[in-house]
């Protein structure tokens, strides 16, 4: 049941689509692509302006550069890592509402400008609409409706707007968790719009391998060592390792689109760089490996396996040396359930119009920075969001829909409201 006041607030969210669009458009226009991550401070400025009229006090927590920068990153990764915490304490139980403010870079292949919000019927296109700036717009709509209708709340919302989820070495939420900045339970919006009960997710390691040679003229390579060619045995060894790794299954329940197939560990070669022109042997060749590992594996074992593969593949060659660095790491999430999940499930069912029996518990071989939150001692993490298989997150023409924005805003309002479920 919902009260008359709560019903009026929900109706207002549905009626005012223009407010959702107007809130989301400048969020998309602010470039917070990672890499490089230059736009976090400007994004925090804008969010403070939106939250101040709602009575939130904002403070910034900056991740020290020594934690997130690697030697040799240069301009590829730069900018102050500004995390924003917005609070309005009243003595109620807190709930952390988590968002990562970074997006992947726009990339190629867009039919519309990626850093501008484009409306196409009920669809809203732009980088970050689904992953996950649209979630920020939805939650702000819920908070505005609660404020205008003076709804009593069950929880004190604490907005956690964090950096470097998209592959960074030290995500902002990890730093907040390790600094004791989190309390209560968390509601992460980095998830699905479907009727899902989260069973956890895999960890992710991004590893950069550099093979060192010696540059020389390709027509007369006196003393030259071609780093690219020296890397070929390693590329072959990594492909062979991939085949073995992807035979390993997890007990984590798979998502519906797997149609009963188990989740498996994954290894992907995601980048390769070296050389500049035909007349010169490259002195450096770089490979980036992404390794997705389930809770049944450890990061230490994964790293040792890859390091051993590199050592064996390069030992017979002429390379002058090699080095391996961890350039991104998200820990796995293992069983994030807890006492608040039934209420969130009820709110999502009402907000999106799902039948209660349609909810399923499943995990994913994708990754989340919530693993660091669990390692810091907060086990219960609710999950919602705007993600759908067709929403093209991380791809060209990413989109969400007005209907999903309204549904997520309504679900959030219901969960926060003291009048929901009474």
46 touches 27 (CB < 8 A):
yes
76 touches 84 (CB < 8 A):
no
pLDDT at position 5:
93
> Do 177 and 225 belong to one domain?
no
Question: Residue with structure tokens 């069950």?
Answer: 154
Give residue-wise pLDDT tens across range 294-325.
999 999 999 999 999 999 999 999 999 999 99
170 within some domain? yes
> Do 212 and 244 belong to one domain?
yes
Strand partners, 196: 360
293 touches 332 (CB < 8 A):
yes
Give the Cα separation of 241 and 236 in Å (integer).
9
Return the sign of the alpha-carbon dihedral for residues 122, 20, 139, 164. Answer: positive
> Do 16 and 159 belong to one domain?
yes
**Structural domain span for residue 171:** 4-193+384-416
235 within some domain? yes
User: From its phi and psi, is residue 238 left (phi > 0), alpha (psi between -120 and 50) or beta?
Assistant: alpha
336 within some domain? no
> Do 129 and 105 belong to one domain?
yes
pLDDT band of residue 347 (cuts 50, 70, 90) is very high
> Do 166 and 230 belong to one domain?
no
Give residue-wise pLDDT tens across range 174-218.
999 999 999 899 999 999 999 999 999 999 999 999 999 999 999
pLDDT band of residue 230 (cuts 50, 70, 90) is very high
> Do 255 and 145 belong to one domain?
no
> Do 184 and 228 belong to one domain?
no
> Do 67 and 28 belong to one domain?
yes
Give residue-wise pLDDT tens across range 371-381.
999 999 999 99
Domains held by the chain: number: 2
Domain CATH code at residue 391? 3.40.630.10
Of 330, 347, 363, which residue is a domain's last? 330
pLDDT at position 167:
77
What are phi and psi for residue 363, nearest 5 degrees? -110, -165
150 within some domain? yes
Domain CATH code at residue 217? 3.30.70.360
DSSP states of 340-388: THHHHHHHHHHHHT--GGG-EEEEEEEE-THHHHHHTT---EEE--SB-
Q: Hey, is 151 helix, strand or coil?
A: coil
> Do 119 and 163 belong to one domain?
yes
341 within some domain? no
Q: How far is CA 181 from the centre of its chain?
A: 20
């Amino acid at each position: 049941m919902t009260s008359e006041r709560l019903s009026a607030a929900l109706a207002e969210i549905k009626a005012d689509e223009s407010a959702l669009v107007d809130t989301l458009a400048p969020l998309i226009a602010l470039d917070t692509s990672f890499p490089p991550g230059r736009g976090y401070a400007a994004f925090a400025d804008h969010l403070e302006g939106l939250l101040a009229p709602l009575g939130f006090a904002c403070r910034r927590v900056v991740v020290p550069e020594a934690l997130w920068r690697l030697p040799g990153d240069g301009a590829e990764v730069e900018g102050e890592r500004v995390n924003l915490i917005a609070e309005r304490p009243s003595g109620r139980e807190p709930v952390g509402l988590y968002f990562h403010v970074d997006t992947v870079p726009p990339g190629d292949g867009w039919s519309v400008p990626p850093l501008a919000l484009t409306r196409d019927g009920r669809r809203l296109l732009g980088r970050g609409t689904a992953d996950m700036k649209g979630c920020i717009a939805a939650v702000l709509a819920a908070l505005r409706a609660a404020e205008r209708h003076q709804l009593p709340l069950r929880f004190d919302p604490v907005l956690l707007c964090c950096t470097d989820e998209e592959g960074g070495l030290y995500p902002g939420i990890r730093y907040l968790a390790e600094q004791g900045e989190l309390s209560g339970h968390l509601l992460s919006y980095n998830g699905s719009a479907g009727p899902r009960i989260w069973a956890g997710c895999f960890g992710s390691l991004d590893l950069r391998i550099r093979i060192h040679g010696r540059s020389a003229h390709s027509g007369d390579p006196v003393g030259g060592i071609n780093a690219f060619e020296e890397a070929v045995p390693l590329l072959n060894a990594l492909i062979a390792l991939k085949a073995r790794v992807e035979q390993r299954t997890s007990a984590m329940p798979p998502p519906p689109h797997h149609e009963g197939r188990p989740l498996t560990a994954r290894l992907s070669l995601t980048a390769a760089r070296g050389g500049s022109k035909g007349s010169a042997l490259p002195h450096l060749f770089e490979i980036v490996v992404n390794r997705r590992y389930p809770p049944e594996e450890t990061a230490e074992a994964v790293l040792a396996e890859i390091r051993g593969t590199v050592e064996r593949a390069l030992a017979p060659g002429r390379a002058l040396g090699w080095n391996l660095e961890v350039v991104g790491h998200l820990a796995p999430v293992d069983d994030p359930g807890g006492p608040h999940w039934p209420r969130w499930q009820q709110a999502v069912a009402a907000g999106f119009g799902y039948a209660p029996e349609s909810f399923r518990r499943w995990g994913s071989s994708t990754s989340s920075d919530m693993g660091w939150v669990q390692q810091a001692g907060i086990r219960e993490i609710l999950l919602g969001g705007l993600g759908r298989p067709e929403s093209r997150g991380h791809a060209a023409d990413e989109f969400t829909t007005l209907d999903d924005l309204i549904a997520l805003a309504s679900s959030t309002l219901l969960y926060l409201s003291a009048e929901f479920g009474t």
